[in-house]
Amino acid sequence: MIELTQDPIDVVPLLQQAQQPAAGAVVLFLGITRELTDGLRTERLSYEAYAPMAQQEMQRLEATARERWELVECLLVHRLGEVPLSQASVAVVVSAGHRPAAFEAARWLIDELKQSVPIWKREHRPDGQADWVHPSTEGGNGCR
């Protein structure tokens, strides 16, 4: 299951969905909004997606993970819009018969999501400035 949402991510129903009789392990990963990046303070973050493509890419990641590992449940949720500090912007929940598959799949899913899913974050600073984050560009204005 994949989802893009404007609302806070509630992990309780996600965990409930992952806890099925066939599963012996559930791994939950949360990416949460961090205050300091390279010494710069961020007051809040906002996320924008190219939604149809982001959904398609997330579906592709789920399908690939299910091919590579024997998973019981595989849930990817990304929040969009404004996300206050310390709240989850992304959740990956994976359940499997045994823990190696669950850990490996969850790690692979979040790493791939950060590489390929067309979602961008904007860091809003206390002085009112806001920068889009574009990781592989260097030296550009507000781009890292």
Binding residues for another protein, rule: CB under 8 A, are 31, 47-50, 52-54, 56, 78, 89-90, 110, 113-122, 132-137, 139-143
Q: Give the shortest CB-43-to-another protein separation in angstroms.
A: 17
Q: Give the shortest CB-126-to-another protein separation in angstroms.
A: 20
Which three-class secondary structure state does DSSP give residue 114?
helix
Q: What are phi and psi of 118, to 5 degrees?
A: -75, 80
- Residue closer to another protein, measured from CB, 39 or 139: 139
Q: Give the shortest CB-98-to-another protein separation in angstroms.
A: 26
- Residue closer to another protein, measured from CB, 22 or 51: 51
End-to-end CA distance of the chain: 31
Q: Give the shortest CB-33-to-another protein separation in angstroms.
A: 11
Alpha-carbon Rg for the chain, nearest whole angstrom, is 16
Q: Is 95 exposed, middle or buried (0-12, 13-18, 19+ CB in 10 A)?
A: buried
- For residue 137 the two structure tokens come to 């560009």
- Residue closer to another protein, measured from CB, 22 or 120: 120
Cα separation of 13 and 91, whole Å? 12
- Residue closer to another protein, measured from CB, 64 or 97: 64
